[in-house]
């Protein structure tokens, strides 16, 4: 800032005299559009450039352009990760030297003195993020300038206007999140599915759902419900792997071995894995209820989502699609899973039979069950075992396998 109280005589001829803020301006543009579908980056980004350009010095041009097409609610480390091909396909006339994170990483290398944006929420809707960026850049002598801020006046007045704007952006962010969460909860309560269909299901358009007319964002995506997969074996496979966990207390790797031993009976794209088995057993949608908010996608480690507590899940008030297991059976399976993870499972009677069968290269497979008895196939033999399974019967089965009977 130049002092308004100058010396009584001209001192510009002094060898050490220099004007305040004499460093040449080298300004970079920073912009953002939330989505490529609900907004048009090809018009929004150039508009932001035009507004930010009003804060350039006479004759000055931007030395680089950094902009993203993604939510301003993302943390800095997750910004700008979209592939270059996506940005090329948008045909935005403004050049792009990178995104938000590229600007932060390259600002010193480019000798940037000012970062210009239309307004603070183009940096981030989260106030902490925009404050952190301003602070980190100021430490290396880079000033962040927003085009919607007043010029002239005092620094305190400018700062007050900036902080009010950032508070507004964060309040707007919180309001959006509340409205979005409320809408997603109602979506689940009405029985409509979020995300991919679990293994034994497919998604089908709900013809009874209210249809919205085309609006400013185009035609709304249709509401979809879960329906049984056309391959009926998938329902049987899902029911069996849940039973193996619930009744036989098998671990994921053991269930995978059983499923892979009979691919015609338990079909799957690619192959069965521990993760697929465990996630399917844990999925409450198998009960016929629609369930939302099991995961918190915006918290936890970058690239991962953490599980919300069960008390935060949103369940439809009644079953909305065909169930693989009852709610009681699903709950029992979760209790077994918890005990296995806690290491408190000492090994049930069927575990002992399966362990003995593995020593002889045999697989134990449940063929059918009546509730009181279950027909198993052990290798080429079939045997009917009662439920519950007495220890005496277990010892007899193992002895028969050991003797080759």
**Tens-digit pLDDT profile for residues 253-276:** 999 999 999 999 999 998 999 999
Task: Name the percent of the chain lying above pLDDT 70.
Answer: 88
| Structure token pair of residue 181 | 């969460």
- Across the strands, what pairs with 296? 306
- Identify whether residues 389 and 325 lie together within a single domain: no
- Identify whether residues 365 and 287 lie together within a single domain: no
Mark which of 324, 345, 366 sits at the end of a domain. Answer: 345
- Identify whether residues 264 and 325 lie together within a single domain: yes
* 7 occurs within a structural domain: no
The pLDDT value recorded for residue 277 is 95
**The domain that contains 33 carries what CATH number?**
3.40.50.1390
* 5 occurs within a structural domain: no
Contact 143, 114 (CB under 8 A): yes
21: left (phi over 0), alpha (psi -120 to 50) or beta: left
Residues 155-189 have pLDDT tens digits of 787 788 888 888 887 787 778 778 878 888 888 88
* 4 occurs within a structural domain: no
- Identify whether residues 134 and 258 lie together within a single domain: no
| Structure token pair of residue 309 | 């507590």
The per-residue pLDDT of the chain, averaged, comes to 84
Say whether pLDDT at 303 is over 60: no
* 184 occurs within a structural domain: no
Q: Across residues 60-88, what is the average pLDDT?
A: 81
- Other C-beta atoms closer than 10 Å to the C-beta of 14 total 8
**Distance in angstroms (rounded) separating the CA atoms of residues 191 and 164:** 41
The pLDDT value recorded for residue 345 is 46
Cis preceding linkage at 293, omega within 30 = no
Residues 48-72 have pLDDT tens digits of 999 999 999 888 999 999 998 887 6
- Identify whether residues 168 and 38 lie together within a single domain: yes
Closest CA to 94 of 51, 35, 142: 51
The pLDDT value recorded for residue 125 is 78
Least confident range of 82-96, 143-157, 230-244, 296-310: 296-310
* 226 occurs within a structural domain: yes
- Per the model's pLDDT, the better-predicted residue between 287 and 135 turns out to be 287
Q: Across residues 70-99, what is the average pLDDT?
A: 80
Tally of domains in the chain: 3
**Distance in angstroms (rounded) separating the CA atoms of residues 274 and 331:** 20
Rg, C-alpha atoms of the chain: 32
- Identify whether residues 158 and 226 lie together within a single domain: no
- Identify whether residues 278 and 390 lie together within a single domain: no
The pLDDT value recorded for residue 217 is 47
Mark which of 345, 364, 387 sits at the end of a domain. Answer: 345
Say whether pLDDT at 405 is over 70: no
- Identify whether residues 107 and 201 lie together within a single domain: no
- pLDDT band per the 50, 70, 90 thresholds, residue 20: low
* 178 occurs within a structural domain: no
- Identify whether residues 32 and 92 lie together within a single domain: yes
| Structure token pair of residue 175 | 């309001």
The pLDDT value recorded for residue 36 is 60
- Identify whether residues 246 and 146 lie together within a single domain: no
- pLDDT band per the 50, 70, 90 thresholds, residue 245: very high
> What domain range includes position 383?
347-405
The pLDDT value recorded for residue 343 is 58
pTM of the model: 0.58
* 62 occurs within a structural domain: yes
- Across the strands, what pairs with 291? 315
**The domain that contains 229 carries what CATH number?**
3.90.1750.20
The pLDDT value recorded for residue 346 is 47
- Identify whether residues 356 and 337 lie together within a single domain: no
Burial letters for 53-77: b for 16+ Cβ neighbours within 10 Å, e otherwise? eebbeeeeebbbbbbbbbbbebebe
- Identify whether residues 327 and 351 lie together within a single domain: no
Q: Which residue carries 């069968």 as its tokens?
A: 357
Q: Across residues 367-390, what is the average pLDDT?
A: 83
Mark which of 345, 361, 389 sits at the end of a domain. Answer: 345
* 338 occurs within a structural domain: yes
**Distance in angstroms (rounded) separating the CA atoms of residues 236 and 242:** 10
């Amino acid at each position: 800032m130049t002092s308004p109280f100058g010396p009584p005589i001209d001192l510009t001829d002094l060898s050490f005299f220099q004007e305040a803020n004499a460093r040449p301006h080298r300004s970079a543009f920073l912009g953002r559009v939330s989505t490529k579908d609900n907004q048009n980056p090809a018009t929004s980004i150039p508009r932001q450039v035009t507004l930010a350009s009003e804060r350039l010095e006479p004759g000055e041009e931007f030395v680089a352009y950094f902009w993203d097409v993604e939510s301003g609610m993302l943390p800095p480390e997750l910004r700008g990760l979209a592939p270059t091909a996506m940005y090329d396909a948008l045909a935005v006339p403004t050049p792009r030297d990178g995104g938000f994170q590229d600007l932060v990483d390259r600002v010193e290398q480019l000798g940037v003195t000012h970062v210009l944006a239309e307004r603070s929420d183009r940096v981030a809707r989260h106030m902490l993020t925009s404050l952190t960026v301003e602070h980190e850049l100021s430490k290396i002598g880079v000033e962040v300038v927003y085009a919607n801020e007043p010029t002239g006046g005092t620094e305190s007045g400018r700062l007050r206007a900036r902080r009010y704007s950032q508070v507004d952006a964060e309040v707007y962010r919180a309001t959006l999140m509340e409205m979005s969460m409320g809408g997603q909860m109602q979506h689940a309560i009405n029985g409509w599915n979020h995300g991919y269909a679990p293994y034994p299901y497919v998604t089908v358009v709900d013809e009874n759902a209210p249809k919205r007319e085309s609006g400013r964002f185009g035609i709304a995506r249709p509401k979809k419900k879960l329906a049984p997969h056309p391959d009926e074996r998938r329902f049987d496979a899902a029911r069996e792997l849940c039973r193996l966990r619930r009744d036989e207390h098998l671990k994921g790797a053991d269930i995978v071995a059983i499923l892979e031993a009979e691919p015609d009976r338990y079909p799957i794209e690619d192959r069965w894995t521990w993760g697929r088995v465990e996630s399917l057993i844990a999925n409450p949608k198998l009960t016929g209820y629609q369930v939302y908010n099991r995961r918190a996608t915006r918290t936890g480690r970058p690239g991962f989502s953490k599980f919300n507590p069960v008390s935060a899940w949103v369940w439809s008030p009644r079953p909305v699609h065909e169930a693989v297991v009852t709610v009681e059976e699903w709950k029992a399976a979760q209790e077994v899973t918890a005990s296995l993870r806690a290491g408190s499972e000492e090994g049930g009677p069927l575990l002992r039979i399966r362990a003995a069968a593995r020593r002889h290269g045999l697989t134990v497979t449940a063929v059918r069950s009546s509730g009181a008895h279950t027909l198993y196939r052990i290798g080429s033999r079939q045997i009917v075992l009662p439920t519950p399974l007495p220890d005496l019967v277990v010892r007899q089965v193992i002895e028969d396998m050991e003797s080759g009977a």
